[in-house]
Amino acid sequence: MIDFLTPAQWQQLIMSLVGGVGVILISLKRKSGFIWISVSQFLFVLYFHHTDQDFIAIQNVLLILVNIFGYFQWTHKENN
Protein backbone atom coordinates (compact mmCIF):
# COMPACT_ATOMS: atom_id res chain seq x y z
CA MET A 1 0.00 0.00 0.00
CA ILE A 2 1.29 3.43 -0.90
CA ASP A 3 1.26 5.84 2.03
CA PHE A 4 0.48 9.15 0.36
CA LEU A 5 0.00 11.16 3.57
CA THR A 6 2.48 11.58 6.39
CA PRO A 7 1.23 11.18 9.99
CA ALA A 8 1.29 14.98 10.41
CA GLN A 9 -0.84 15.40 7.29
CA TRP A 10 -3.31 12.80 8.59
CA GLN A 11 -3.56 14.74 11.86
CA GLN A 12 -4.25 17.96 9.95
CA LEU A 13 -6.85 16.22 7.80
CA ILE A 14 -8.69 14.80 10.83
CA MET A 15 -8.57 18.17 12.62
CA SER A 16 -9.91 19.91 9.51
CA LEU A 17 -12.78 17.43 9.11
CA VAL A 18 -13.76 17.70 12.77
CA GLY A 19 -13.58 21.49 12.62
CA GLY A 20 -15.62 21.45 9.42
CA VAL A 21 -18.43 19.51 11.14
CA GLY A 22 -18.49 22.17 13.87
CA VAL A 23 -18.63 24.98 11.31
CA ILE A 24 -21.51 23.23 9.50
CA LEU A 25 -23.42 22.91 12.79
CA ILE A 26 -22.86 26.60 13.54
CA SER A 27 -23.94 27.60 10.04
CA LEU A 28 -27.15 25.58 10.57
CA LYS A 29 -27.78 27.83 13.59
CA ARG A 30 -26.95 25.11 16.10
CA LYS A 31 -25.19 26.19 19.28
CA SER A 32 -23.97 22.59 19.62
CA GLY A 33 -21.38 23.42 16.96
CA PHE A 34 -19.43 25.48 19.48
CA ILE A 35 -19.56 22.63 21.99
CA TRP A 36 -18.53 20.10 19.32
CA ILE A 37 -15.49 22.17 18.34
CA SER A 38 -14.49 22.87 21.95
CA VAL A 39 -14.68 19.22 23.02
CA SER A 40 -12.82 17.98 19.95
CA GLN A 41 -10.13 20.65 20.33
CA PHE A 42 -9.73 19.68 24.00
CA LEU A 43 -9.11 16.09 22.94
CA PHE A 44 -6.56 17.34 20.39
CA VAL A 45 -4.86 19.34 23.18
CA LEU A 46 -4.49 16.18 25.24
CA TYR A 47 -3.21 14.23 22.22
CA PHE A 48 -0.71 16.80 20.99
CA HIS A 49 0.55 17.60 24.48
CA HIS A 50 1.21 13.88 24.90
CA THR A 51 3.19 13.85 21.64
CA ASP A 52 5.29 16.87 22.75
CA GLN A 53 3.85 19.08 20.02
CA ASP A 54 3.12 21.87 22.47
CA PHE A 55 2.71 24.55 19.80
CA ILE A 56 -0.31 22.74 18.35
CA ALA A 57 -1.66 22.14 21.87
CA ILE A 58 -1.41 25.87 22.67
CA GLN A 59 -3.04 26.71 19.34
CA ASN A 60 -5.97 24.43 20.21
CA VAL A 61 -6.35 25.99 23.67
CA LEU A 62 -6.73 29.38 21.96
CA LEU A 63 -9.35 27.90 19.61
CA ILE A 64 -11.27 26.55 22.63
CA LEU A 65 -11.29 30.02 24.21
CA VAL A 66 -12.54 31.57 20.96
CA ASN A 67 -15.33 28.97 20.76
CA ILE A 68 -16.40 29.53 24.35
CA PHE A 69 -16.51 33.27 23.67
CA GLY A 70 -18.53 32.66 20.49
CA TYR A 71 -20.97 30.41 22.35
CA PHE A 72 -21.65 33.03 25.03
CA GLN A 73 -21.91 35.81 22.45
CA TRP A 74 -24.50 33.73 20.57
CA THR A 75 -26.44 32.98 23.77
CA HIS A 76 -26.35 36.65 24.79
CA LYS A 77 -27.59 37.71 21.34
CA GLU A 78 -30.50 35.24 21.53
CA ASN A 79 -31.55 36.55 24.94
CA ASN A 80 -31.80 40.15 23.69
Q: What is the pLDDT of residues 35-78, one digit of tens each?
A: 887 788 778 777 776 666 667 777 777 877 887 888 788 777 77
Read off the pTM: 0.55
CB 56 within 8 A of CB 47: no
Residue 1, pLDDT > 60, answer: no
pLDDT at 18: 83
pLDDT at res. 80? 65
Give the whole-angstrom CA distance, residue 55 versus residue 58: 5
Residue 34 · residue 22 · CB < 8 Å: yes
Count other C-beta atoms under 10 Å from residue 74's C-beta. 15
Share of the chain above pLDDT 70, in %: 85
